[in-house]
Amino acid sequence: GENVEQHPSTLSVQEGDSAVIKCTYSDSASNYFPWYKQELGKRPQLIIDIRSNVGEKKDQRIAVTLNKTAKHFSLHITETQPEDSAVYFCAASNQYNFNKFYFGSGTKLNVKP
């Protein structure tokens, strides 16, 4: 089955700096890679996703890159703000195989004002 690894487990940055979270996956059949943000005690919410036919996707201050050959993908947050503080999860999925998502272990991001 798929195995998703995520690093770092915790990340502390100063407000305004950039944050990068990295994930690797094992199953070359995975073709969809979402990122979720989970605030304390709440449900995970999708913030951005990327499909395997695209190498990069941006949405305002957040971007995701995908390297299919190396089987890794990354989340980039620029100009971080205190409200970006949360736990971020990456996931990998094969859209054509029961649609199961396999999640990374999460990164706790702390943005210091």
Partner 1 sequence: SQTIHQWPATLVQPVGSPLSLECTVEGTSNPNLYWYRQAAGRGLQLLFYSVGIGQISSEVPQNLSASRPQDRQFILSSKKLLLSDSGFYLCAWMRDRPNYGYTFGSGTRLTVV
Q: Where do contacts with partner 1 occur on this chain (CB under 8 A)? A: 6, 32, 34, 41-46, 49, 89, 95, 98-106
Phi, psi of 82 (to 5 degrees): -55, -30
Task: Give least dist CB 7 to partner 1, A.
Answer: 12
Q: Are 36 and 44 in contact (CB under 8 A)?
A: yes
CB 79 to partner 1: min, Å: 26
**d(C-alpha 19, C-alpha 12), whole Å:** 8
Nearer to partner 1, 69 or 99 (CB): 99
Give residues with Cβ within 8 angstroms of 60, minimum separation 6. Answer: none
Pick between residue 18 and residue 105 the one whose CB is nearest to partner 1: 105
Degrees to nearest 5, angle at CA 51 with 86 and 67: 85
Q: Cβ of residue 8: shortest distance to partner 1, in angstroms?
A: 14
Closer Cβ to partner 1, 41 or 113, answer by number: 41
CB 36 within 8 A of CB 89: yes
> Please, what is the minimum distance in Å from the beta carbon of residue 40 to partner 1?
11
